[in-house]
Amino acid sequence: MELQLQAAKQQGNFQLELELKVSGERIGVFGPSGSGKSTLVNLLAGLARPDRGSILLDGKTLFDGTAGVNVAPDQRRIAMVFQQHALFPHLTVRKNLLYGYQRCPATERRIELAEVAEVLEIGDLMGQMPDTLSGGQSQRVALGRAILASPRLLLMDEPLSALDDDLRYRIIPYLKLVSERFKIPFMFISHSLVEMRLMADQVAVLEKGALTAVMTPEELARQRMGQSPAGYINLLELGVPQEKQGLLAYPWAGGELLLSSNAGAERGMFELSSKDIILCKRHPDAISARNLLPCTVRSLFETGSKIGVELDCKGGILVAEIVPDAARELDITPGGIIWAAIKASAFRRL
């Protein structure tokens, strides 16, 4: 997918002036509320008209202010997934799913109902009405409905914000799976950095109606470490654990990590804040933290008043944050060896 957008739009007091050029299959749009994310979505979908500018998707003009081109929303083949599902309440799940499918020109159709139902595990819901579905089921149906329109681009506007934490991270694998399996490029709009890192390859960062940068989610996360009260969030994929002295030992990067037993005894994605990693210059004889890992310092980066330390623990990468004074005392330099101490209770399952 290749998107070239140059658009200006005035809405009340809000002014959007955007120039965005991205190509890729998994694009993120990140920004706080009021940064223009929703306006961008509406401009792309054709639900709002730019005051001036042009929008090109894969070389095809969707809007051109000077040439007077404005392709109608129903002709753009850009499907949307909303925060509030927006399932048609008067239609069964099956009819919801087929709404876009039936309106897609037969020559453009390349995705079939049975396949989508299988991937999203919604085959048993076909005859139900939307108001009988749970939040997670509704969002899967909404996703399936968008996919079945065989869109050229899938716009996901904060699709996970209405779900609670637990559910949110169970939907993400479906989102990724669907776009990979059916090869549909997507644009994922969110104010959550963790979602960005899980979903996008490239992130366009918006602020006050303008584009501030296009970067990888990892770069964005490191840049934001200093400002965020939660620090940098390490995302760790941990294997199936074994019980060990009342804790759970998860295999990770050639070694293991000990987590509190309430973490749940199955594989999964966990988060660990950079603030919860303590660095020691030498091996402490005894320490209450249950994880003590020898690491090699890969790099250092500065953000705000903090210093981020990228650690290589037998192939597993962790980012810890420390204040400049500590960096001096510990004499941290790339290539040096250091010990990272992490409490078993510091991990949180996504």
Residues near other proteins, by CB under 8 A: 45-47, 72-80, 82, 84, 86, 88-90, 99-100, 103-104, 145-146, 149, 155
Q: Give 28 or 130: the residue with its C-beta nearer to other proteins.
A: 130
SS3 for 24? coil
Q: Give 79 or 175: the residue with its C-beta nearer to other proteins.
A: 79
Q: Give 104 or 292: the residue with its C-beta nearer to other proteins.
A: 104
| Nearest approach, Cβ of residue 93 and other proteins (Å) | 15
Structure tokens at 271: 């988060």
Distance CA 176, CA 199 (A): 7
| Nearest approach, Cβ of residue 204 and other proteins (Å) | 20
Going by C-alpha positions, the residue among 268, 245, 33, 61 that lies closest to residue 173 is 268
| Nearest approach, Cβ of residue 190 and other proteins (Å) | 17
Q: Give 73 or 136: the residue with its C-beta nearer to other proteins.
A: 73
Q: Give 149 or 338: the residue with its C-beta nearer to other proteins.
A: 149
- Count of alpha carbons within 13 Å of 300, Cβ hemisphere only? 16
| Nearest approach, Cβ of residue 275 and other proteins (Å) | 38
The DSSP bridge pattern shows strands 255-259 and 60-64 to be unpaired
Distance CA 167, CA 262 (A): 18
Q: Which helix (H) or strand (E) holds 3?
A: strand 2-11
Distance CA 202, CA 192 (A): 14
Q: Give 65 or 73: the residue with its C-beta nearer to other proteins.
A: 73
| Nearest approach, Cβ of residue 186 and other proteins (Å) | 13
The DSSP bridge pattern shows strands 69-70 and 26-30 to be unpaired
| Nearest approach, Cβ of residue 209 and other proteins (Å) | 21
Radius of gyration of the chain (CA): 23
